[in-house]
Chains A and B, each alone.
Chain A
């Protein structure tokens, strides 16, 4: 009998060890959660986003916080693992008692956290989950999920129209990142729109994130008859594809989406290769908006480097969340959710936007044209 008793005792002890430490809420602070990919495969996106978020929170708290209360952010690393993302959002909501969770960065990880948000009635917002079905599915809109970035169909369609109408190109090659939902979603929408608009997709090639050698693909398409290339993917690989394509003598226009927006693109491809390259983005550094200029200055001052799209979206994400919290009737999840839904003409650095009925931002898209690696033209593109 003793054995069983001692075993029971041990078990109880272990469980109290686990349960012991949930902090008491401090009424002078507002708690929000940050759940991002700080380590693991896609840490580079997570780290950039969090840099933007932390810059924004620092500025908000330095200016006295929200309605006299300081923002206290609890930050966790989900190791680029979706299950960990679910667990951490649960932890943030139930243990750290946050009223909003920012992140994760990718659609997959973000999707894994949404059911937790709905169950606990606390909104989750992502700055960069672009898949179409993130905020809405066949059962309608997901009540507690929001985002501030374009969805894939919006960008894919915009770029297909840009190729057809602005560049008058009819024959496209698509080289997509087949390992991410981002690449897949963009490619699908681009192809559909391009073909519907009278274009022809000559070849569709694929690579996986982390690849460095694209010479085989480029050699393969080199002799085909095409007049534009679309690369749905991120700058790490896109930069290399552009460089290797230009080295092999392909000089047709190359199109991409907001995944191109990073100073690293220029470093990887080099200025000579980056001519006749166009990508869709949230904002253009050309428009000299004082807010954008100030953000870039502040970011450089804090981190000593240029911000990329993830950092800019992260900054806006934090500002957007805090804006809603400041308007919320009370500091609870449902109230913040209502405030988020009611957002109108939020002035962010990635454009000013309102939230539509599907919890997506309604914002203009800009197509940036590069000359020698520097933005030279920017065209507002519609849907």
Chain B
């Protein structure tokens, strides 16, 4: 028994199956109502967005304010495909095509702009997202302009959602634990030093940007396949900001932080729903307070791993032996 559990990969797998199974069970028994399922979908999409932005901003250190732009590319690509091919194959194709198109854009945009640093890069990515939005508004014949795409078939179910969310987290975590990931982190810590150590910084920055865009494209595709309707104005500046807030709130450079922050913000937002008029005011105040008292975010750059959980569990049950 003990030996099996020392295998980290297996532990993760069991944990994932458990989460999936429990939620699935709660859905079938009706404890998770359709309304909470919608919230769950939004939560999963936010997790994918935040984790992928964390790769760009938190781990590689490149501040991007244009994540919603990539998301919109994924959403539009997938919607256009599923509208013409309303089958599960079409959906899978749509998600993949959305992700690949977004990645392609990420690559094309990243190549010239990633020479910029800090706030200059931030403003350039922001401009890029605005340009994408204007193009979607004016490509009337394809995107139906400001009126948006209507009647997009809904394919997203909990198993799909789980598959994509867990997949995103696993792939990005594994990437970060590889030598490529270490290279990205070294760029965040000190670009010049890492270049001196022989790391091709441009290559890794563009790679991180492209991969981040890829997963943002997936998030967009899932969004389109769940909410029936998309229009360019949904993917504005504020959407990018929302994602950045999750990343910073959870901790730059902490995947589990992003997941926890996305969940926490979803819970806060749900709880505040009854205070319709003041909820955004409370949200803003909360944001400022959290940042003042915990500027490094909930997790800093630490990860919540199974061993940490285990330690927590042990210290709870065997107090005094710590």
- Interface of A toward B, CB cutoff 8 Å: 1-4, 6-8, 11-12, 15-16, 18-19, 22, 38-41, 75-77, 79, 81-83, 86-88, 90-91, 94-95, 107-108, 111-112, 114-115, 120, 131, 133, 137, 178-181, 183-185
Chain B residues, Cβ within 8 Å of A8: 18, 22
Find out whether the CB atom of B228 lies under 8 angstroms from the CB atom of A114: yes
7 additional A-B residue pairs with CB within 8 Å, beyond A4-B15, A81-B234, A95-B35: A18-B36, A39-B276, A39-B280, A77-B277, A87-B38, A108-B231, A181-B231
Known A-B contacts A19-B33, A115-B228; A87 and B39 likewise in contact (beta carbons under 8 Å): yes
Find out whether the CB atom of B150 lies under 8 angstroms from the CB atom of A111: yes
The 3 closest A-B pairs by CB, nearest first: A77-B276, A181-B147, A91-B35
Find out whether the CB atom of B33 lies under 8 angstroms from the CB atom of A112: no
| Alpha-carbon gap, A22 to B150, bound state (A) | 32
A/B interface sample: 11 pairs, CB < 8 A: A7-B18, A19-B36, A39-B276, A39-B277, A39-B279, A77-B277, A79-B280, A83-B223, A91-B38, A111-B148, A131-B147
Contact with A along B143-170 (1 / 0, CB 8 A): 0011110110010000000000000000
Q: Does B19 contact A (CB under 8 A)?
A: yes
Considering the complex, give the chain B residue whose CB is closest to the CB of A16. Answer: B31
Considering only residues 1-36 of chain B, those with a C-beta below 8 Å from chain A are: 1, 14-15, 18-19, 22-23, 26, 31-36
B256 to chain A, nearest CB (A): 13
Interface size class, chain B: 35 or more
| Alpha-carbon gap, A9 to B38, bound state (A) | 23
The SS class assigned to the B binding surface is helix
Find B148's partner among A38, A83, A181 (CB 8 Å cutoff). A181
Find out whether the CB atom of A90 lies under 8 angstroms from the CB atom of B38: yes
- Number of inter-chain CB pairs below 8 Å: 121
Q: Does B105 contact A (CB under 8 A)?
A: no
Find out whether the CB atom of B26 lies under 8 angstroms from the CB atom of A82: no
Chain B residues, Cβ within 8 Å of A39: 276-277, 279-280
Find A178's partner among B38, B137, B309 (CB 8 Å cutoff). B137
Find A2's partner among B26, B230, B277, B313 (CB 8 Å cutoff). B313
B263 to chain A, nearest CB (A): 9
B231 to chain A, nearest CB (A): 5
| Alpha-carbon gap, A115 to B306, bound state (A) | 41
| Alpha-carbon gap, A100 to B295, bound state (A) | 45
B41 to chain A, nearest CB (A): 9
Find out whether the CB atom of A76 lies under 8 angstroms from the CB atom of B146: no
Q: Does B296 contact A (CB under 8 A)?
A: no
Find out whether the CB atom of B146 lies under 8 angstroms from the CB atom of A12: no
Known A-B contacts A38-B276, A39-B277, A90-B35; A115 and B154 likewise in contact (beta carbons under 8 Å): yes
Find out whether the CB atom of A11 lies under 8 angstroms from the CB atom of B31: no
Find out whether the CB atom of B231 lies under 8 angstroms from the CB atom of A82: yes
| Alpha-carbon gap, A203 to B306, bound state (A) | 65
Considering the complex, give the chain B residue whose CB is closest to the CB of A87. Answer: B38
| Alpha-carbon gap, A75 to B229, bound state (A) | 23
B22 to chain A, nearest CB (A): 5
Chain A residues, Cβ within 8 Å of B23: 15
Residue among A11, A18, A76, A184 with most chain B CB within 10 A: A18
Known A-B contacts A4-B14, A77-B279; A15 and B147 likewise in contact (beta carbons under 8 Å): no
Considering the complex, give the chain B residue whose CB is closest to the CB of A22. Answer: B33
B198 to chain A, nearest CB (A): 41
Known A-B contacts A90-B34, A91-B35, A112-B228; A180 and B154 likewise in contact (beta carbons under 8 Å): no
B37 to chain A, nearest CB (A): 8
Residue among B26, B146, B313 with most chain A CB within 10 A: B146
Find out whether the CB atom of A111 lies under 8 angstroms from the CB atom of B229: yes
Q: Does B204 contact A (CB under 8 A)?
A: no
| Alpha-carbon gap, A77 to B231, bound state (A) | 19
B321 to chain A, nearest CB (A): 14
Q: Does B42 contact A (CB under 8 A)?
A: yes
Find out whether the CB atom of A11 lies under 8 angstroms from the CB atom of B19: yes
Considering the complex, give the chain B residue whose CB is closest to the CB of A39. Answer: B280
Chain A residues, Cβ within 8 Å of B138: 178
Find out whether the CB atom of B276 lies under 8 angstroms from the CB atom of A76: yes
Contact with A along B198-231 (1 / 0, CB 8 A): 0000000000000000000000000100011111
Q: Does B179 contact A (CB under 8 A)?
A: no
Chain B residues, Cβ within 8 Å of A107: 147
Find out whether the CB atom of B229 lies under 8 angstroms from the CB atom of A112: yes
| Alpha-carbon gap, A287 to B32, bound state (A) | 53
Chain A residues, Cβ within 8 Å of B270: 18
Find out whether the CB atom of B22 lies under 8 angstroms from the CB atom of A11: yes
| Alpha-carbon gap, A82 to B39, bound state (A) | 13
B270 to chain A, nearest CB (A): 8
Chain A residues, Cβ within 8 Å of B174: none
Considering the complex, give the chain A residue whose CB is closest to the CB of B153. Answer: A115
